[in-house]
Amino acid sequence: MDDGAQVYLKEILSSLGFECYVLPFGDVPNLFARIGTGAPHLCYAGHTDVVPAGDPAQWDSPPFEPSIRGNEIYGRGASDMKGSVAAFISAADRFIKHSKSFQGSLSLLITGDEEEAAIDGTVKVLEWMKANGHIPNVALVGEPTNPEALGQEIKIGRRGSLTGTLKVRGTQGHVAYQDLADNPLPRLISLLKILTDYKFDTGTEFFAPTNLEVTTIDVGNVASNVIPQSGHAKFNIRFNDLWSAATLEAKLREILQAAACDYDLSCYSNAECFLTKPGEWTRIAQDAVEQVTKRRPALTTSGGTSDARFITQYAPVVECGAVNASIHQINEHANIDDLETLVEIYEVLLGEYFNNSIAL
């Protein structure tokens, strides 16, 4: 999990005047903190869990012992996304001290279940927030959104994700007596070819074309002289706003049905496509980034999934954070100057939002 990170965050946020709620669900630690009770209400969302470090011997310094070399801080989670969480709390501290009479509410939703199943984290906290009157007017997710430098991109949506498992059965037998067996693999290959050749769409205004990638083909056959009983393959589709998981699964079955071949298909999705349409909230975020970095960030929807897919069901959400060039890699790191700049961006954003009393 997060090895006590949220306990530390609770201490810091409590000292700044936030009312903190410890919200464990299952084995997952979660923290919600809020200062203020009125509107407008802005909520920052982040996570304290991290992906595995891989082989620690491959790191130049221990992955879970922060190390500063030059102007970079190294460690698992430095960029994804502990640096962003720290930057936002620093910005909130500055903003509160400089705007003690600000009208509205500022909160943080910090989960320990973003990198894994995402079942007992943000989803459950949002349900608790709704039940207890804490749903914000707008939300900001601090995921690292820039490929190379601050000011390049803000995420206003993400493609959906659907995983499919395709299985074809046959009859096992000896390769020398092929007439007594039924090899399922040519049919499996044929079905995969049909899927990979299919053009689902050409993209939309804010989204790239829907894309299917085969991720594994498995037979479990250790003998070269045996025709296997069955074979299965997995694929993942990242889909745009022309589809939902349900309509996409229906299209897959329609495509495969034309092959006139027996198969089993099962599909799973925990991420629908979503989009925060450009408007006042996205403009405020863009203006804040541009004011500090002198770059006007593009509004993009590329990349993998994030917890913004859950938040969008409750409030308009944008993602704005650090540079993502080293996330999930050996020697993950964050530039210290970038983190200081990110503090400035967040502080400007808070000022623009609250000082104009915009309840979007």
Q: Active-site residue numbers?
A: 49, 114
Sign for the CA dihedral angle at 280, 285, 288, 290 comes to negative
As a whole number of angstroms, the distance between CA 68 and CA 104 comes to 38
3-state secondary structure of 305: coil
Residues 301/207, Cβ–Cβ less than 8 Å = yes
Handedness of CA 191, 192, 193, 197 (dihedral sign): positive
- Alpha carbon separation from 91 to 44, 254, 301, 333, 342 (Å, rounded): 11, 51, 26, 21, 9
251 vs 254: CA distance, rounded Å: 5
CA distance 234 to 180: 28
DSSP 19-45: EEEE--BTTB-EEEEEE-SSSSEEEEE
Q: Is 76 in contact with 65 (CB distance < 8 Å)?
A: no
Rounded Cα distance between 186 and 85, Å, is: 50
The CA angle 8-12-18, to the nearest 5 degrees, is 120
Strand partners, 167: 232, 264
How far is Cα 334 from Cα 341, in angstroms, rounded to an integer? 12
Q: Which of helix, strand or coil describes residue 174?
A: strand
Can you tell me the distance from the alpha carbon of 196 to that of 215, in angstroms, rounded to the nearest whole number? 12
